[in-house]
Amino acid sequence: MTTAPDSADLTTADGQDRAPNRTVAGEAGRRRTFAVISHPDAGKSTLTEALALHAKVISEAGAVHGKAGRKSTVSDWMEMEKARGISVSSTALQFNYRSTEAGESADDAVNVVNLVDTPGHSDFSEDTYRVLTAVDAAVMLIDAAKGLEPQTLKLFQVCRHRGIPVITVINKWDRPGRTPLELLDEIGERIGLTPTPLYWPVGIAGDFRGLLRRGEDGQAREYVRFTRTAGGAKIAPEEILDPDTALEREGDEWATAAEESELLSATGQDHDQELFLAGQTSPVIFASAMLNFGVRQILDTLVALAPPPQGRTANDDTVREVTDPFSAVVFKVQAGMDTAHRDRLAFMRIVSGVFERGMVVTHAQTGKPFATKYALTVFGRERSTVENAYPGDVVGLVNANALAPGHTLYVDKKVQFPPIPSFAPEHFSILRAESAGKYKQFRRAVDQLDSEGVVQILRNDIRGDASPVMAAVGPMQFEVVAARMKAEFNVEARMEPLPYTLARRTDAASVDELNRQRGVEVFTRSDGVLLALVSDKWRLQYIQKELPSLTLEPLVAAGDE
């Protein structure tokens, strides 16, 4: 990974911190850790790339997948992602950024941005849900033509449930779409979040000229006028104009934007930081990630408004403050990121204290020591060794075979954070190896993919270990399993769908009776949880009515709830 020479990098060439005397609280205060959430094809991976371009950690942006002659984005690395133009895995990107508002004052004006790119496809909701346990804010990306879409709504509800403040970006303003006021009305009506635009578009959707920067009472402070670059591969030049010059340059388009901006203030749609952090309002920015229009404004807004890392509540209801001794939560485990090595990378979000590469920490789930010799920051397939990290940072631990999503690492006083709930699966399939001679490889592959959380693996005595059952939120997860088993373990897998659509948590006392019911089969998940698979919601309702003493508890995000 090449960093532009004028970027605000605070580390030396060998990765050492140039400011070793900073306090943990000071370092945490510089961090901004967030995720980008959206419906598929809203431009999420393109925005991720554009943000990295503006932070000057890359010199040229990739583009949306599938465009002839264009590169795939650096945050998407699996072959399936490149072929289909979707994000399957979550990727953590870290870079330094000095806000244009900060000027050239001091090093502490430089923020460390941890951007966790997430799958947009609904089949991979569980991976996104895990990521949302590791961030402090979210950017909700909305297509200017389509508005709020189902996956966006679902992920927003997760943000609301977890108390994550949301910044809204209305993307693809360079293409024909709906009116800005119509989009704001939809946000307010459908999710109950008051949109408070910080910038207002000059030019209708499809004729994106620039952004009006709103001041107090909606008054126009300045006009940011953009100029297109070839293919959107470079940072779009900006021209900053005062309101009078903007009116001369843009005429009616500027006058309309200024009038609408004042109208927003009349209806109370001005930014209030307390209401934003309380999850009642959402700052709004209009942008075109493809053209790199409005991207700097997104970064500046994140740095200025998104909250820094805070303390986290542990299982015993105590709070691990950012200044307490080191602790971290594993939220993602991924294998196969380095094609030259069959490695396994565990992404952890640092909750408190200072992480130092090589330190020995305690794995809360087992009580055993865990050495951290190989610690990395990851930029797509690019890796660099990290020596020190602070609350809010995301660090990858190599060959972390004992770690799984939701696990806690700590030093000094013991702490264990609540586990990450599993989504309710809605698709089920038997998994078998095509060749009996590769059973050992098959078992290793199943165990690895299960521990990563790619799918949930279910077993019972009747089917045995040779035919485990995969449970997934969406059927595309099964395709990922087959592709990775072939690529990483050289095992051809055969899948047979099962006629179940619901899963419910049950207990040992209910197992025998449930197994006697038509359309029901009970399995044990790898974490020991007993799950009853049911053919459909009518069968479930019948059993609950006729046998109310049986335990059938819903899981997180059950589709029929």
| Mean pLDDT calculated for residue range 147-173 | 89
Q: Given a cut of 50, is residue 250 above it in pLDDT?
A: yes
Average pLDDT in the chain: 84
Most confidently modeled of 70-84, 220-234, 276-290, 464-478?
276-290
Decide if 114 contacts 30 (C-beta within 8 A).
Answer: no
pLDDT in tens, 309-321: 999 999 999 999 9
pLDDT at residue 103, as a whole number: 55
**Lowest-confidence range among 438-442, 495-499, 557-561?**
557-561
pLDDT in tens, 492-517: 999 999 999 999 999 999 999 999 99
Helix (H, G, I), strand (E, B) or coil at 84: helix
pLDDT at residue 237, as a whole number: 92
Q: How far apart are CA 407 and CA 163, in angstroms?
A: 21
Phi, psi of 323 (to 5 degrees): -90, -5
pLDDT at residue 10, as a whole number: 39
Q: Given a cut of 50, is residue 346 above it in pLDDT?
A: yes
Q: Given a cut of 90, is residue 286 above it in pLDDT?
A: yes
Q: How far apart are CA 400 and CA 394, in angstroms?
A: 15
pLDDT at residue 86, as a whole number: 44
Assign 483 a pLDDT band (cuts: 50, 70, 90): confident
pLDDT at residue 61, as a whole number: 56
Structure tokens at 418: 């609540």
Q: How far apart are CA 118 and CA 130, in angstroms?
A: 10
pLDDT at residue 108, as a whole number: 54
| Mean pLDDT calculated for residue range 390-413 | 90
pLDDT at residue 90, as a whole number: 47
**Lowest-confidence range among 305-309, 420-424, 430-434?**
420-424
Contacts of 258 (CB under 8 A, 6+ apart): 212, 220, 243, 247
The C-alpha R_g of the chain, in whole angstroms, comes to: 25
Strand partners, 222: 213
| Mean pLDDT calculated for residue range 86-115 | 69
β-pairing, 368-371 with 360-363?
A: antiparallel
Q: How far apart are CA 256 and CA 223, in angstroms?
A: 13
Q: How far apart are CA 351 and CA 136, in angstroms?
A: 11
Q: Please give the residue that has the higher pLDDT: either 423 or 550.
A: 550
Q: Please report, rounded to a whole number, the percentage of residues in the chain having pLDDT higher than 70.
A: 83
**Quick one: CA dihedral 539, 545, 549, 553, positive or negative?**
positive
Q: Given a cut of 80, is residue 200 above it in pLDDT?
A: yes
Q: How far apart are CA 45 and CA 386, in angstroms?
A: 24
CA dihedral in degrees (50, 51, 55, 59; nearest 10)? -20
| Mean pLDDT calculated for residue range 509-533 | 94
| Mean pLDDT calculated for residue range 475-485 | 85
Structure tokens at 429: 């399939």
| Mean pLDDT calculated for residue range 132-153 | 91
| Mean pLDDT calculated for residue range 512-536 | 94
Q: Given a cut of 80, is residue 12 above it in pLDDT?
A: no
Q: Please give the residue that has the higher pLDDT: either 228 or 120.
A: 228
pLDDT in tens, 101-128: 765 554 556 888 988 776 655 555 667 7
| Mean pLDDT calculated for residue range 131-156 | 90
Most confidently modeled of 150-154, 220-224, 330-334, 382-386?
220-224
Q: Given a cut of 60, is residue 546 above it in pLDDT?
A: yes
pLDDT at residue 99, as a whole number: 82
Q: How far apart are CA 255 and CA 15, in angstroms?
A: 50
Which has the closest alpha carbon to 247: 238, 258, 262, 239? 258
Q: Please give the residue that has the higher pLDDT: either 196 or 343.
A: 196
| Mean pLDDT calculated for residue range 174-178 | 95
Decide if 550 contacts 516 (C-beta within 8 A).
Answer: no
pLDDT at residue 18, as a whole number: 42
pLDDT at residue 330, as a whole number: 93
Decide if 74 contacts 58 (C-beta within 8 A).
Answer: yes
| Mean pLDDT calculated for residue range 368-377 | 88
Structure tokens at 269: 């749609």
Q: Please give the residue that has the higher pLDDT: either 342 or 442.
A: 442
Helix (H, G, I), strand (E, B) or coil at 213: strand
Q: How far apart are CA 378 and CA 1, in angstroms?
A: 10
CA dihedral in degrees (448, 451, 454, 459; nearest 10)? 90
Assign 64 a pLDDT band (cuts: 50, 70, 90): very low
pLDDT at residue 66, as a whole number: 35
Q: Given a cut of 90, is residue 225 above it in pLDDT?
A: yes
pLDDT at residue 350, as a whole number: 96
pLDDT at residue 216, as a whole number: 84
Q: How far apart are CA 311 and CA 317, in angstroms?
A: 12
Q: How far is CA 81 from CA 233, 332, 423, in A?
A: 20, 18, 22
Which residue has tokens 């990775």? 484
CA dihedral in degrees (388, 415, 117, 493; nearest 10)? 110
Q: Please give the residue that has the higher pLDDT: either 150 or 61.
A: 150
Assign 73 a pLDDT band (cuts: 50, 70, 90): low
Number of helices (H), then strands (E), belonging to the chain: the values are 14, 30
Decide if 247 contacts 330 (C-beta within 8 A).
Answer: no
What does the buried/exposed string (b/e) look like for 274-289 if buried means 16 or more CB atoms within 10 Å of the residue's CB? eebeebebbbbbbbbb
**Lowest-confidence range among 61-65, 323-327, 349-353, 441-445?**
61-65
pLDDT at residue 344, as a whole number: 74
pLDDT at residue 274, as a whole number: 96
Q: How far apart are CA 530 and CA 28, in angstroms?
A: 40
